[in-house]
Amino acid sequence: MGGRSSKNKGDNYERELAAYINEATSIQSFRAPLSGGGHVGLSGGADLMGTPHLFVEAKRVERLNFHAAMQQAETNKVKTNSPEHPIVMTRRNRMKTGESLCVLRLDDFLEMYKVYLEYKGENKIGHPKEEMSTMQET
């Protein structure tokens, strides 16, 4: 698929993602104006707006170069001076939206995971680096 139909597929995925995220979280995300392949030089921002703490790069392709997609998200994040965490969300044809893959840097994931564990009352380690060095000494 190429040209206009490929762009439409990507645009539709961005709308689909926003609706799915909104339903699951009750936030009000939406497709960014002028996002998508045809306007990279004009907008250069995240594909979705209204996703606090996430700089979403949406990709609807059969084969994705995850490193290149993450680089695009990180470059655009810097261009827009965004404090958000870059994340790539992708799905293939015939996959449900909820089966989309989400790719982010390990350090960003761990920052979010730590908050989640604290929220759940399961982060009893304290300072992981200190605990690890103590564990290695014994």
For residue 85, the SS3 value is strand
Q: Return the higher-pLDDT residue of 67 and 6.
A: 67
What gap in Å lies between CA 123 and CA 19, rounded to an integer? Answer: 32
List all residues 6 or more positions away from 24 whose beta carbon is below 8 Å from its beta carbon: none
Comparing CA positions, the residue from 13, 4, 98, 19 lying closest to residue 61 is: 13
pTM of the full predicted structure? 0.80
- Read off the pLDDT of each residue in 56-77 and give the average, rounded to a whole number: 97
Domain residues of the chain, as ranges? 3-104, 106-138
* DSSP β-bridge partners for residue 25: none
The pLDDT tens digits for 98-129 are: 999 999 999 999 999 999 999 999 977 655 55
Q: What CATH number was assigned to the domain covering residues 3-104?
A: 3.40.1350.10
Residue 22 pLDDT > 90, yes or no?
yes
What gap in Å lies between CA 116 and CA 120, rounded to an integer? Answer: 6
Residue 85 pLDDT > 70, yes or no?
yes
